[in-house]
Structure 1
């Protein structure tokens, strides 16, 4: 039974963890590397070197529990590191966003809203502004799910004429988080790495 909630404290282990480690070995990592104890009731998060595998370790009534999630595409986005606690202190909301592949900076979010609000004044009419908001939402969703917006829009727009009579389920397959499963080469982090290697 998944027993995590927003009343708990969450800590991401610094650095990359050998994901072959099991419960006992990860308890040792918490003690030696994070200066804490799993039995305290906190939730400890471990990420592998590829950032595609995550393990959560937690003490519940009756024993230790370990949750595992592996991404089929994309990578987990890490929060800010806190040198004082030698960890990445997180809240439940931060964990959910990281598991879903979302990295949100409140200042960046407010800046985007402000810029968008000013731009919408020049859309011409309410329908144009609504269309613009849909496009902006798709772009933000692409970034949240590690999808290159240009690749996504080029492909989906080219396919739209063939989806005039598409069912609701078929249209859902065009959403970024579904689309990326068929286009792993369009992962945003992958393209950024390749660009960095060329420099």
Structure 2
């Protein structure tokens, strides 16, 4: 199986991001907006403005992995954010 194993920290970006960004752009967002290290082994989850799409990135020890999911029907439930 490809993916993280064991106890993995998952960090969720609460605001939508530009989904034209790839792995490098999302890794930069991890550093700039979350103040975290994208190479720590944690999984970082992002959503588009359309709530039927998410992207995840994580470092697997050899490179940054990017996963994308688009639901055919329905939407992802996202935490409410208070500014």
Which structure 1 residue ranges, 5 or more long, are not aligned? 84-199
Structure 2 unpaired stretches of 5+: none
Q: Going by fraction, where is strand more abundant, 1 or 2?
A: 2
Q: Deviations over 1:123-179 (max 9, x none)?
A: xxxxxxxxxxxxxxxxxxxxxxxxxxxxxxxxxxxxxxxxxxxxxxxxxxxxxxxxx
What is the CA distance between 1:79 and its match in structure 2?
Answer: 3.2
Render the CA deviation track for 1:63-105: whole Å, top value 9, x for unaligned. Answer: 110111110111100135598xxxxxxxxxxxxxxxxxxxxxx
What is the aligned partner in structure 2 of residue 184 from structure 1? none
Structure-2 residue corresponding to 1:20: 20
Matched position secondary structure for 1:38: coil
RMSD: 1.9
Alignment of 1:75-86 (within 5 A): 75-79=75-79
Give the equivalent residue in structure 2 for 1:61: 61
Structure number with greater CO (CA < 8 Å, separation at least 6) is 2
Q: Distance in 1 between matches of 2:4 and 2:56?
A: 10
| Counterpart Cα distance in 1 of 2:53 and 2:38 | 20
Q: Taking structure 1 as reference, are residues 58 and 82 closer, same or farther at Cα in structure 2, changes over 3 Å only?
A: farther
After TM superposition, give the deviation of residue 5 of structure 1 in Å.
4.1
Take 1:9 and 1:47, find their aligned partners in 2: how far apart are those partners? 18
User: Quick one: structure 1 residues 72 and 6, their matched pair in 2 at CA, closer, same or farther if it must change by over 3 Å?
Assistant: farther
Q: 1:9 to 1:80 in 2, by over 3 A?
A: farther
- Residue deviations 1:28-87, cap 9 Å, x none? 11011111111111110000001111110000121110111110111100135598xxxx
* Equivalent residues, number: 83
TM-score (norm 1): 0.39
TM (normalized to structure 2)? 0.88
